[in-house]
Structure 1
Amino acid sequence: MESRAGFSFHVIAVLTVLSVLAGCAGRPEGVLIPTQTQAAGTSKVDVLVATTRRPTETPGVLFSGERGKEPVVTEIAVSIPPDKAREIGQVQWPSKLPANPAKEFATVSVTPLAAPAAQSWLKGHLGKSRRVFVFVHGFNNRYEDAVYRFAQIVHDSNADVAPVLFTWPSRGSIFAYNYDKESTNYSRDALEEMLRRLAKEPGVGEITVMAHSMGSWLTVEALRQMAIRDGRVAPKIQNVILASPDLDVDVFGQQLAEIGEKRPHFTLFVSRDDRALSLSRRISGNIDRLGQVDPTVEPYRSEFEKAGIVVLDLTALKTGDRLNHGKFAESPEVVKLIGNRLIAGQTVTDSDVGLGETLGAVALGTAQTVGSAASVAVSTPIAIFDPTTRRNYKDQVDRFGNSIGNAVETAVGQ
């Protein structure tokens, strides 16, 4: 007779499969075939795409989920429909080919690049901020999934960055979890080397790396390797954003220790109702996944504070994602926050900036309690754990308390 644990596992797996399959239904194959059709009011996002995938001869697919022998770099331009014709945070996939740019994402151009041409592309796309924004996708992503999703994030965040995508060999199947995980290990050296090359470019001022899901493991591993080889992570890599990180919490602690004290600033997006991470947790021996923890409870509260890690808890935030695994990209408020604040390395609890204006419909209210180790938002869709703000607030409270005590002593003495 099947155990209750086994039954639960199969229920979660079936629900996950159904959700994923439903989300992919109806997409045409070959969306990366460039179209000549144009429409008024569209925007264009140019992305530099580096991959460790194996090339394919299938038109408009470009790269499969199998592992390539050498990294390959491609420039891909994606057309985004006018804002009035789309929902912010969503990828409007073509219903048929060629795509209708007035209503759907469309590929404008695909250009393979050698190393010198990739350097020229980077120089030509660096804005006034001189920032590079690197994205590493997660589990169950095809090449085109990663390209279109990143183009959406870049467009909707409105960030002044040169966008660089690193896509690793994912088979794009819910049943290929272990293969995908090994593919991240296969790709560590390539991502490390790409980040090192970007950091060495004289025109680059700073680099933000954002990773989703299983891509978080790959990203932190690449940074750990860099720190071991070079003595530290390249100083230009200043911010690391891990969204729904599919990372064993114990392993992450070890990785962070090996990266060392001179590490980038880490920001986490977590959600306790993340169904994809629930499945991952069960597959991985029931060890907590970093993207599902409650940052207000021990031992996480103290560990995040000690490490200076800012955590945004999106549990109460509702989006159209049935797995609750892609809230960071599908929420208009969150994706704007990424562009307005996090890529620039700004704290999201800085009282000098009106968060209500920054996040539009989402107003962040912060409740701090004397003696508490957390600074969290209450009765709002996003809760923020910011140990730096908590410490500053506690210092202010302590000073206020000391002032009151001194005043009382003075009054009693008189």
Structure 2
Amino acid sequence: MLRRSGTLFLLLVLTGCGHPDGVMMPVKLTANTPPTSKVEMLVATTREPSGDPATLFNGERSAKPHLTQITVSLPPKRESGTVQWPQQLPPDPAKDFAVTNVQQIDTIAQGRQWFGQHVNGGHALVFVHGFNNTYEDSVFRLAQIVQDSKMQATPVLFTWPSRAEITAYQYDKESTNYSRTGLEQALRTLAADPNVKDITIMAHSMGTWLAMESLRQMGIRDGHVNSKIHNVILASPDIDIQVFAKQYVEMGEPRPKFTIFVSQDDKALAVSSFITGRVSRLGAINPAEEPYRSKLEKAGITAIDLTKVKTEDGLNHGKFAESPEIVQLIGQRLMTGQTLTDSKVSLSEGITAVVGGTVTNIGTVAGAAVAAPATIIEQPLIRKKKPQQPDDTLGGDLKPQTLTQ
């Protein structure tokens, strides 16, 4: 009990570092402002409007979704993987992240018009944030990911009602359930846009639960996920392993290509496991060990182990965004559905990650994981006939109950 209490205390301490609230009020760039980068995004939310232009939306639940167009300015001198929050308001665009434009969008037609004006090769990235995030947290994080990854895609943020309080875990979890249909509708609307060729969903932490539930709903309604949704990236997924297996099966076939980022030293997932009855979380597995190794391969799921990757994140929960090499990997390869087996992936400190392309190579990957800062296990996406009893298998071969340790 002392150890568990210590873990909870550590989590409270590590998440206690804050920043000024109210950064959504647009600032004007002047002639004296040094050249900055900008990220323009479309933001869909199930949050309740705050009535304050400095925050826009709070952590309560809205009866209807809202759309907003937002432009974020990023300072010229910034380390990759970092969000430079202002220490005082208003932000200084020369050294801080700063919002430079906010415009509410009232109709789907206006949203499509915006997307048509900002289309980037027809690729769309839908980002779903995790637990303990304000509206502005998620906006700035997506801006950082888009800029650092250099991805060629139009960014769309889906932000759900998080109270951004470390003690509001259960409220946040229920808010993801509340937002399932909202995200499903947003994905359907995006897929129906003729300007959109393909969609990548990238979800983090508790947001992975929301993403999986929305895709499951879509699959149950239509028999399969919309064909424009090509890729799903789950970073530090805070999902019960058995539940993930059921969600994966019940979304039907064909499925998008799945990539998961895991880390066995993720302190936030350790606390989540404790809160939820000591049930293993998907984001904390070791994909090089059985039963996960063979089961992931049979399901065609790529697992990227970030345990040995070091970042400034004290919880080891945001490595996917804070590691420059990993975020570039997302933008340059995973976003476009490219495999990792046709080249080696260069990671931090000049060490090259090990890439395994077949089942026989997985043993090599597991053995080399000690020396590499990250282990990348790449398997081809396997399309199989729909099983007669979908509740009992994952991808035709993986039984949900066998995913647990």
The TM-score normalised by the length of structure 1 is: 0.87
The equivalent of 2:50 in structure 1 is 56
* AA of the residue aligned to 1:14: F
Asked if 1:153 corresponds to 2:148, the answer is: no
Partner of 1:355: 345
1:48 to 1:367, Cα distance in 2 relative to 1, 3 A: closer
How far the C-alpha of 1:363 sits from its partner, in A, is: 2.1
Q: Distance in 2 between matches of 1:279 and 1:182?
A: 18
- Choose which of 194, 199, 204 in structure 2 pairs with 1:212: 204
Does the aligned pair in 2 maintain the 1:270–1:315 contact within 8 Å?
A: yes
Q: Let me know the Cα RMSD of the aligned residues.
A: 1.9
Aligned positions of 1:306-325 closer than 5 A: 306-325=298-317
In 2, Cα distance between the equivalents of 1:360 and 1:149? 25
Corresponding position: 1:14 with 2:9 = yes
1:297 matched to 2:286? The reply is no
CA offsets, 1:349-383, max 9 Å, x none?
223xx533x88945223478985655625322110
Instruction: Tell me the distance in 2 between the aligned counterparts of 1:312 and 1:371.
Output: 17
- What displacement does 1:282 show? 0.5
Of 95, 102, 109, which residue of structure 1 is paired with 2:94? 102
Alignment of 1:7-406 (within 5 A): 7-22=2-17, 24=18, 27-38=19-30, 39-82=33-76, 85-115=77-107, 116-127=109-120, 129-351=121-343, 354-356=344-346, 361-366=350-355, 371=360, 373-374=362-363, 376=365, 378=369, 379-388=371-380
For residues 213-232 of structure 1, give each alpha carbon's deviation from its aligned partner in whole angstroms, at most 9, with x where no partner exists. 00000000000000110111
Deviation larger for 118-127 or 322-331: 118-127
**Identical-residue share of aligned pairs (%):** 52
Question: C-alpha distance in 1, partners of 2:39/2:74?
Answer: 8
Give the structure 1 partner of residue 385 of structure 2: none
Matched residue of 1:319: which SS? coil
Change beyond 3 A, Cα 1:36–1:259: same
Aligned residues: 376
User: Does the C-alpha gap of structure 1 residues 374 and 257 become closer, same or farther in structure 2, counting only changes over 3 Å?
Assistant: farther
Provide closer, same or farther for how the CA distance between residues 132 and 300 of structure 1 changes in structure 2, counting only shifts above 3 A: same
Q: In 2 relative to 1, CA 360–160 (structure 1 residues): closer, same or farther, beyond 3 Å?
A: farther
Q: Unpaired runs of 5+ in structure 2? A: 382-405
Residue in 2 that maps onto 1:404: none
Higher helix share: 1
Q: SS in structure 2 opposite 1:78?
A: strand
- Residue 296 of structure 1, CA deviation: 1.1
One-letter amino acid of the counterpart of residue 79, structure 2: E
| 171-180 or 371-380: bigger deviation | 371-380
Q: Distance in 1 between matches of 2:203 and 2:197?
A: 20
Distance 2:355 2:22 in 1: 47
Conserved? CA contact 1:375–1:385, under 8 Å: no
Moved over 6 A (4+): 367-370
Shift of 1:44: 0.7
**Deviation at residue 388 of structure 1 after TM alignment:** 3.2
Deviation digits for residues 219-275 of structure 1 (CA, Å, limit 9, x no counterpart):
000000001101110000000000000000000000111112310000000000000
Instruction: State whether residues 355 and 377 of structure 2, in contact with CA within 8 Å, keep that contact through their aligned partners in structure 1.
Output: no
Which of 1 and 2 has greater Rg?
Answer: 1
Q: For residues 303 and 118 of structure 1, what CA distance do their matches in structure 2 show?
A: 40
Q: Give the conservation status (yes or no) of the 8 Å contact 2:263–2:283.
A: yes
Relative to 1, partners in 2 of residues 1:89 and 1:262: Cα closer, same or farther, differing over 3 Å?
same
For residue 192 of structure 1, what is the amino acid of its counterpart? E
The AA in structure 1 aligned to 2:114 is W
CA contact (8 A) 1:37 1:100 kept: no
Instruction: Report the CA distance shift for 1:253/1:368 in structure 2 as closer, same or farther (over 3 A).
Output: closer
| Distance apart, 1:57 and its partner CA | 2.0
Unmatched runs of 5 consecutive residues or more in structure 1: 1-5, 390-414
